């Protein structure tokens, strides 16, 4: 019901913002939002809705059918609580959860298989990168600048600057170049970091090529833009280390 309510709420917003005629006296009409404010609100509703689509990784939807659904919702009589309400639609809104669940299940299966195919080709190419090293777990890494002292341990606290990218080069996360370091205990982050960074010392600058099974696996991190079975690339500069006692 939450998904149904969401779409009905969006339709209600469109109904409020898409009306071109105002009722009441001139004084009353003067209180209504201006055309410019209505246009701005309409645009931002679209931006907000796009965020919802991205969070669920819908891929490319049929916006023509979406427009039909919105128009049908705007023109529907009554409320979802009315017995005849659902009959006004091409597809009953009561089927939203079932249809959406099936779509997302198929979408995830497709993206998972596609990323697996791309991951294989990606690491075949990475294997030829100059100075690349490979661990027995399948992690590839390049030490761009060696640190000094003892290697980092899992219980140590690291202070780092980093950039995280997908295999197509898209940046999904990073610290600010001139901002403060990110800090964490190494054992609290993904396996790829744990394996890669225990092979270097404080002050090191390293690039990690992390297979999906050492990152976020088949679930991915949709809100961060990381799909299922997605390998990741991190450029990590270890600013300092607080060694565990």
Each residue's pLDDT tens digit, 60-87? 889 899 889 888 988 899 888 888 898 9
- For residue 45, the cross-strand partners are none
Catalytic entry in 14, 141, 216, 226: 216
What pLDDT was estimated at residue 19? 52
- Domain boundaries of the chain, sorted by first residue: 2-91, 124-242
pLDDT in tens, 199-232: 999 999 999 999 999 999 999 998 888 999 999 9
Long-range pairs for 47-50: beta carbons < 8 A, 24 or more residues apart: 49/10
Residues 138 and 214 sit within 8 Å (Cβ to Cβ): yes
* Among the listed residues 152, 148, 161, the one whose alpha carbon sits nearest the alpha carbon of residue 242: 152
Q: Is 210 tagged catalytic?
A: no
Q: How far apart are CA 15 and CA 172, in angstroms?
A: 35
Q: What is the mean pLDDT of residues 114-136?
A: 96
Q: Check residues 146 and 195 and name the one with the higher pLDDT.
A: 195
What is the per-residue pLDDT for 60? 86
Q: Which one of the listed residues 14, 122, 141, 234 is annotated catalytic?
A: 234
What's this model's pTM, rounded to 2 decimal places?
0.77
234 is catalytic: yes
Burial class (CB in 10 A: 0-12, 13-18, 19+), 232: buried
Task: Give me the catalytic one of 57, 173, 205, 235.
Answer: 173
CA 5, CA 28: separation in Å to the nearest integer? Answer: 31
Long-range (24+ apart) CB contacts under 8 A made by 45-54 are: 45/10, 45/13, 45/14, 45/17, 49/10, 52/6, 54/225
pLDDT at 2 over 50: no
pLDDT at position 80? 86
Match domain 124-242 to its CATH number in 3.40.605.10, 1.10.287.470, 3.30.565.10, 3.10.50.40. 3.10.50.40
What is the enclosing helix (H) or strand (E) of 61?
Answer: none
- The catalytic position among 57, 172, 235, 239 is 172
**Residue from 7, 14, 140, 162 carrying the catalytic annotation:** 162
Active site residue 89: no
Strands (E), the chain: 133-134, 140-145, 157-166, 171-174, 182-185, 205-210, 232-242
The pLDDT of residue 151: 92
Does 195 qualify as catalytic in the annotation? Answer: no
**Catalytic annotation on 162?**
yes
Task: Give yes or no: 159 in active site.
Answer: no
Catalytic residue among 123, 190, 235, 239: 190
């Amino acid at each position: 019901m939450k998904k149904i309510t969401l779409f009905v709420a969006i339709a209600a917003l469109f109904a409020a913002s898409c009306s071109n005629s105002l009722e009441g006296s001139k004084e009353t009409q003067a209180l209504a939002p201006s055309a410019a404010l209505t246009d701005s609100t309409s645009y931002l509703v679209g931006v907000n809705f796009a965020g919802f689509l991205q969070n669920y990784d819908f891929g490319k939807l049929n916006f023509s059918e979406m427009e039909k659904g919105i128009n049908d919702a705007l023109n529907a009589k009554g409320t979802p609580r009315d017995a005849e309400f659902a009959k006004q639609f091409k597809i009953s809104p009561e089927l939203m959860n079932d249809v959406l669940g099936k779509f997302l299940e198929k979408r995830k299966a497709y993206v998972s298989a596609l990323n697996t195919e791309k991951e294989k080709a990606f690491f075949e190419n990475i294997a030829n990168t100059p100075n690349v090293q490979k661990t027995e777990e399948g992690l590839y890494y390049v030490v761009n600048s060696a640190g000094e002292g003892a290697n980092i341990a899992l219980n140590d606290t690291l202070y780092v600057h980093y950039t995280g990218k997908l295999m197509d080069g898209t940046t999904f996360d990073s610290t600010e170049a001139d901002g403060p370091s990110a800090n964490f205990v190494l054992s609290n982050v993904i396996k790829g970091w744990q394996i890669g960074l225990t092979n270097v010392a404080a002050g090191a600058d390293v690039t990690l090529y992390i297979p999906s099974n050492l990152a976020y696996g088949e679930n991915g991190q949709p809100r961060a833009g990381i799909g299922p079975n997605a390998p990741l690339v991190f450029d990590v500069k270890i600013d300092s280390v607080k060694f565990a006692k």
